[in-house]
C-alpha cells in the first residue's frame, strides 16, 4: 500500500468507528476504504474487456441497455389456466415484455390434480397444468410467435416443454420460431430447492435429450436456466450461489459433451438465473464475476470456439428471502435496491418481487408496483445511460476479483468430491447452505445484523391489514372435474399406445423428447407420463442434514 | 415418568421442498438442548403423525410454504386425535396470512404459528413455556 494510503489509515484509526460489524449480507468483512493499491494488478483487456468482448466482465453485448432494455418478466401463475391466462394478458397490457410461468406444486412434482398427494395444493403456488388442454388454455389468444416465455419447471421440464411446443403448433407457430426458457436445472434441486423426481443419472439423460432436441428443432429456445436463485434462497452466501451455480453449469457442459454433443452445439443456449439480494455492491460484483469465470472456463477448459458459448446470459429475481412480514411496504424499497443492483450487474431480464409475496401470491396491485419499480429504474434513474458504470471502482473491482478467487477455491473443493454429483451425495452443498442460513439467522438474533421492522425500528402498532390474493378451494375441485372429463373424452387407446412406446424408449437410449411429444399430443396427462418414467427410472431419496 | 429433554419432530409436509426454515428451526432447537428429529421432505400428515408417535415426541413443528396450510394443519391435528396422541402439541411456521392464522388457532388446528421474521429465541421460549406447563402435570 502507498504512503498516501497509510497516512490516511493512521488518521482513520485515530478516530472512532461506529459499532460494526462491517460485513456484507454474506458475512464477508469489508474494509473502510478501497484505493488504487487494491486494483493495481488488474489488466483492463485481460480482466475486464469492453462490453461484448472477452472476458465479458462489462457485459455480454457491445451496446447493453443503450441497445435494448432488459426484459421485464414477472413470474406469475395461480389457480387454473383460465385465471392465469387473464393475469398474463393484464401484465402484457401493463407493459411487461415477456411471460414467466409459475406452476403449482403438484405440477412441479409430477402429480396430476386428482392424485391424493396433490390434495390441498392444486393452484396454490402457481398454475395447475395437467395436460395439453390446460397449456392451450394458458396461452389462449397470446400469440406465441410474439412473446418469449420462461417456464419454471425442472424435474418434469421435458413434459411441460413438449406441451408448450404442441400448444404453439396448434396456434400455427412452428417450433423453430419459439423463444423462451425452461428452467430444467435438476442439480440445484438436489442441492437446494428439493423438487426432484428421478435419481441423478436418468435426470441428466432427460436434460441432454432436451439439449439435443432443442438444437435440431427449437434452436432459439434456452434449453436450461442454470439457477443460483434457489441456492441463495435456501440460505447460501453470494459466493456460494455463484460458485455452486457455475459448478452446475460446468457439470451440464460435461454431460452434454459426454452425450456426444459438440460443446458449441448446445452451450450457446445455456442460460443462467441469479438472485439479487440487498447487499448492493456484493451482488453487482457477483454478477460481473460470473460472466468472467464462465467465459474463461468455456474458452480455456472446454475449448468452445463459438463466441456465443462464452456468454453468460442471465435472468435475475430480487431476493424473496429478504422480504419481511412486518411493515410489508418496506419490501418495495428493498426490491428497488435489489433491482438496481441486478441492472448494474448487467442482467438480461428481471423479476421484481411484490411486497406481499412474503405471505401469499401477489395481488394485482402489488404486482403493478413491482413492475413500476422496474419501469422507474429503466426510464427515470439514468442508470441505463452508460454501460457498466461501476467498472474501475476500486471497491467493486476488488469484490469482483474476490468473488472469482473464492469461486475457484470452491471448484477445487467440489473436484475433490469427484464433481457436483459426488458433492451432492456427500451432502457438501446442503451442509454449506444450512450452515450459512443458520449463521445469518443467528446474526439477526444477536443484532449483529439489523433488519428493519424485524429486530430494529419495530412498530409498536400492528400493521394495517393488506388485501392478499386468496385461492378459492373450489379451484381444486374445478381442476379435478376438468381432468376427469378429459380422461373420458380423449382417445384412451392412443394414450396407452404412446405411453407404452415411451416406456420402451425409456428402457433404451433413444431420445425421449419425440415420444413425450406423442404422448402429450394424445392428451396423456403429466402424471401419467411421469408414472411411466418413474417405473423405469425409479425415484430419488435424500438423506437430510441440518 | 419424567422425561429429561424435550423431544421435537420437525416436519416438512406436502410437496414443497423449501426447507431453509425447517432446518434453521431444527438446529436452533437442538442448540437449545432439545432432542430433534427431522422428518426430511415430502411427508404426508399420516407419515408425520406416525413418526411423532414412534419417536415419542412432545411436539411436532411443521413448516409450510406451499399455501396448503388450511388443509395440512387440521389434518395432522385430526390424525393425532384419532391415534390418541392428543398430548402431542402442534406448532407451525411459514408463509401464512394473518387471517388464516387466526382461523387455525381458533378452531384448534394448531397451538402456535410463526411467520417470516419470527426469531428462534421466540420459538424456543414458546416451546419451553408450553411444555413446562404440561409436563408439570406429569411430574
Inside any domain, residue B121:
yes
Rounded to the nearest angstrom, the minimum Cα separation between B22 and chain A is: 9
Out of A125, A196, A360, the one facing B97 most closely (by C-beta) is: A360
Q: Which residues in chain B are contacts of A105 at CB distance < 8 A?
A: 14-16, 66, 68
Q: Identify whether B63 is part of a domain.
A: yes
Q: State the nearest Cα–Cα gap between A44 and chain B, in angstroms.
A: 40
E-only strand ranges, A320-401: 349-351
Neighbour tally for A462: CB within 10 Å: 8
* Yes or no, beta carbons of B19 and A544 under 8 Å apart: yes
- CA of A189: which chain B residue's CA is closest? B17
Judged by CB atoms closer than 8 Å, whether chains meet at A117 and B67 is answered as no
Q: Is B2 a member of any domain?
A: no
Question: Which pLDDT value is given to residue B138?
Answer: 45
Between A and B, how many residue pairs show a Cβ–Cβ distance under 8 A?
109
Retrieve residue A503's grid coordinates: 416406456
Interface of B with A (CB under 8 A): 10, 14-20, 22-24, 26-28, 36, 38, 40-42, 44, 66-68, 70-72, 95-99, 115-117, 119-121
Residue with cell 468455456: A298
Nearest by CB to B68, from A121, A441, A451: name it.
A121
Q: How far apart are CA A513 and CA A360, in angstroms?
A: 35
**What length is written for chain A?**
546
Contact at CB, B15 and A323, closer than 8 angstroms: no
Are the Cβ atoms of A120 and B19 closer than 8 angstroms? no
pLDDT digits (tens, 9 = 90+) for B83-123: 999 999 999 999 999 899 999 999 999 999 998 888 999 99
Which of A105, A156, A439, A540 to mutate: most B Cβ within 10 Å? A105
Closest by CA to A294, choosing from A320, A263, A265, A325, is A263
- Nearest CB neighbour to B27, from listed A121, A453, A546: A546
Residue B2: pLDDT over 70: no
Return d(Cα B24, Cα A470) in angstroms, integer. 28
With contacts defined as CB-CB under 8 Å, which chain A residues touch B116? 323-325, 358-359
Cell of B61: 413443528
Among candidates A125, A323, A441 on the partner chain, residue whose Cβ is nearest the Cβ of B120 = A441
pLDDT tens digits along A132-146: 999 999 999 999 999
Tell me what pLDDT residue B61 has.
97
CATH T-level topology, domain A44-76+183-445: TIM Barrel (3.20.20)
Q: What is the pLDDT of residues A369-426, one digit of tens each?
A: 999 999 999 999 999 999 999 999 999 999 999 999 999 999 999 999 999 999 999 9
Q: A519 vs A169, A484, A512, B50, CA distance in Å? A: 15, 18, 11, 38
What is the bridge-based pairing of β-strands A349-351 and A71-76?
parallel
Q: pLDDT tens for residues A204-249?
A: 999 999 999 999 999 999 999 999 999 999 999 999 999 999 999 9
Residue of B nearest to A444 (CA): B119
A235–B28 CB contact, under 8 Å = no
- Asked if the Cβ–Cβ distance from B117 to A195 is below 8 Å, we say no
Structural domain spans, chain A = 44-76+183-445
Test A234 with B97 for CB contact under 8 angstroms.
no
Contacts of B24 in chain A (CB under 8 A): 235, 434, 437-438, 441
Residue B69 belongs to domain spanning: 7-138
Q: A-chain residues within 8 Å CB-CB of B10?
A: 546
Query: How far B134 CA sits from the closest chain A CA (Å)?
Result: 28
Among candidate residues A254, A184, A251, the one with its CA nearest the CA of residue A222:
A184
Domain membership of residue B1 (yes or no) is: no
CATH number of the domain residue B134 falls in: 3.40.50.280
Distance from CA of B23 to the nearest CA of A (A): 5
pLDDT tens, position by position, for chain A (546 residues)? 788 999 999 999 999 999 988 999 999 999 999 999 999 999 999 999 999 999 999 999 999 999 999 999 888 989 999 999 999 999 899 888 789 999 999 999 999 999 999 999 999 999 999 999 999 999 999 999 999 999 999 999 999 999 999 999 999 999 999 999 999 999 999 999 999 999 999 999 999 999 999 999 999 999 999 999 999 999 999 999 999 999 999 999 999 999 999 999 999 999 999 999 999 999 999 999 999 999 999 999 999 999 999 999 999 999 999 999 999 999 999 999 999 999 999 999 999 999 999 888 899 899 999 999 999 999 999 999 999 999 999 999 999 999 999 999 999 999 999 999 999 999 999 999 999 999 999 999 999 999 999 999 999 888 888 888 888 989 999 999 999 999 999 999 999 999 999 999 999 999 999 999 999 999 999 999 999 999 999 999 988 888
Describe chain A by its helix, strand, coil percentages, rounded to 5.
Answer: 55, 10, 40
Q: What is each CA distance from A325 to A16, A438, A446, A466, in whole angstroms?
A: 35, 19, 20, 11
Amino acid at each position: 500500500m502507498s504512503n498516501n494510503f497509510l497516512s490516511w489509515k493512521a488518521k482513520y484509526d485515530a478516530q472512532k468507528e461506529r459499532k460494526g460489524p462491517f460485513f456484507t449480507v454474506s458475512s464477508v468483512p469489508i474494509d473502510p476504504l478501497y484505493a488504487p493499491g487494491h486494483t493495481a494488478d488488474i489488466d483492463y483487456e485481460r480482466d475486464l474487456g469492453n462490453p461484448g468482448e472477452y472476458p465479458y466482465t462489462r457485459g455480454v453485448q457491445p451496446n447493453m441497455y443503450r441497445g435494448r432494455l432488459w426484459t421485464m418478466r414477472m413470474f406469475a401463475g395461480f389457480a387454473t389456466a383460465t385465471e392465469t391466462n387473464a393475469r398474463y394478458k393484464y401484465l402484457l397490457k401493463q407493459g411487461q415484455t415477456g411471460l414467466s410461468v409459475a406452476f403449482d406444486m403438484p405440477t412441479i412434482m409430477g402429480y396430476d390434480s386428482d392424485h391424493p398427494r396433490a390434495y390441498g395444493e392444486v393452484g396454490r403456488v402457481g398454475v395447475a397444468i395437467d395436460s395439453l388442454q390446460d397449456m392451450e388454455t394458458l396461452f389462449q389468444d397470446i400469440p406465441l410467435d410474439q412473446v418469449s416465455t420462461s417456464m419454471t419447471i425442472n424435474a418434469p421440464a421435458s413434459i411441460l416443454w413438449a406441451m408448450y411446443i404442441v400448444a404453439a403448433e396448434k396456434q400455427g407457430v412452428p417450433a423453430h420460431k419459439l423463444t423462451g426458457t425452461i428452467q430444467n436445472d435438476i442439480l440445484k434441486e438436489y442441492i437446494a430447492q428439493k423438487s426432484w423426481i428421478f435419481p441423478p443419472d436418468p435426470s441428466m439423460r432427460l436434460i441432454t435429450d432436451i439439449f439435443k432436441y432443442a438444437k435440431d428443432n427449437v434452436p432459439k429456445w434456452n434449453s436450461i436456466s442454470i439457477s443460483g436463485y434457489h441456492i441463495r434462497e435456501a440460505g447460501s452466501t453470494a459466493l456460494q450461489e455463484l460458485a455452486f451455480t457455475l459448478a452446475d453449469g460446468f457439470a451440464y457442459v460435461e454431460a452434454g459433451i459426454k452425450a456426444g454433443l459438440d460443446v458449441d452445439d448446445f452451450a450457446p443456449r445455456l442460460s443462467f438465473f441469479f438472485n439479487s439480494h440487498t447487499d448492493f455492491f456484493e451482488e453487482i460484483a457477483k454478477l460481473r464475476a460470473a460472466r468472467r469465470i464462465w467465459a474463461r472456463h468455456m474458452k480455456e477448459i472446454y475449448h468452445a470456439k463459438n463466441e456465443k458459448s462464452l456468454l453468460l446470459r442471465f435472468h435475475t429475481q430480487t431476493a424473496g428471502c429478504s422480504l419481511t412480514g412486518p411493515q410489508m411496504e418496506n419490501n418495495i424499497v428493498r426490491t428497488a435496491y435489489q433491482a438496481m443492483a441486478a441492472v448494474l450487474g448487467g442482467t438480461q431480464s428481471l423479476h421484481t418481487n411484490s411486497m406481499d409475496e412474503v405471505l401469499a401470491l401477489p395481488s394485482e396491485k402489488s404486482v403493478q408496483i413491482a413492475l413500476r419499480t422496474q419501469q422507474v429504474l429503466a426510464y427515470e434513474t439514468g442508470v441505463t445511460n452508460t454501460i457498466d458504470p461501476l467498472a474501475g471502482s476500486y471497491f467493486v473491482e476488488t469484490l469482483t476479483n474476490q468473488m472469482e478467487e473464492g469461486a475457484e477455491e470452491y471448484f477445487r473443493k467440489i473436484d475433490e468430491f469427484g464433481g457436483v454429483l459426488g458433492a451432492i451425495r456427500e451432502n457438501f452443498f446442503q451442509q454449506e447452505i444450512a450452515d450459512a442460513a443458520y449463521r445469518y439467522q443467528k446474526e439477526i438474533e444477536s443484532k449483529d445484523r439489523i433488519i428493519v421492522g424485524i429486530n430494529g425500528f419495530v412498530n409498536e402498532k400492528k400493521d394495517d391489514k393488506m388485501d392478499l390474493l386468496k385461492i378459492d378451494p373450489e379451484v381444486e375441485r374445478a381442476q379435478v372435474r376438468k381432468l376427469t372429463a378429459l380422461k373420458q373424452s380423449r382417445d384412451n387407446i392412443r394414450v396407452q399406445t404412446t405411453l407404452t412406446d415411451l416406456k420402451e424408449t425409456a428402457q433404451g437410449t433413444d431420445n425421449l423428447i419425440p415420444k413425450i411429444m406423442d404422448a402429450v399430443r394424445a392428451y396423456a396427462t403429466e402424471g401419467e407420463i411421469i408414472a411411466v418414467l418413474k417405473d423405469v427410472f425409479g425415484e430419488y431419496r435424500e438423506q437430510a442434514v441440518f | 415418568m419424567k422425561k429429561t429433554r424435550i423431544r421435537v419432530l420437525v416436519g416438512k409436509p406436502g410437496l414443497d421442498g423449501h426447507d431453509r426454515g425447517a432446518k434453521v428451526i431444527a438446529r436452533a432447537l437442538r442448540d437449545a438442548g432439545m432432542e430433534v428429529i427431522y422428518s426430511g421432505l415430502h411427508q404426508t400428515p399420516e407419515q408425520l403423525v406416525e413418526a411423532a408417535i414412534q419417536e415419542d415426541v412432545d411436539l411436532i413443528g411443521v413448516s409450510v410454504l406451499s399455501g396448503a396450510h388450511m388443509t395440512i394443519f387440521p389434518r395432522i391435528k385430526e390424525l393425532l386425535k384419532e391415534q390418541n396422541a392428543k398430548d402431542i402439541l402442534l406448532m407451525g411456521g411459514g408463509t401464512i396470512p394473518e387471517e388464516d392464522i387466526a382461523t387455525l388457532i381458533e378452531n384448534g388446528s394448531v397451538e402456535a404459528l410463526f411467520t417470516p421474521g419470527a426469531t428462534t429465541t421466540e420459538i424456543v421460549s414458546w416451546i419451553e413455556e408450553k411444555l413446562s406447563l404440561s409436563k408439570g402435570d406429569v411430574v
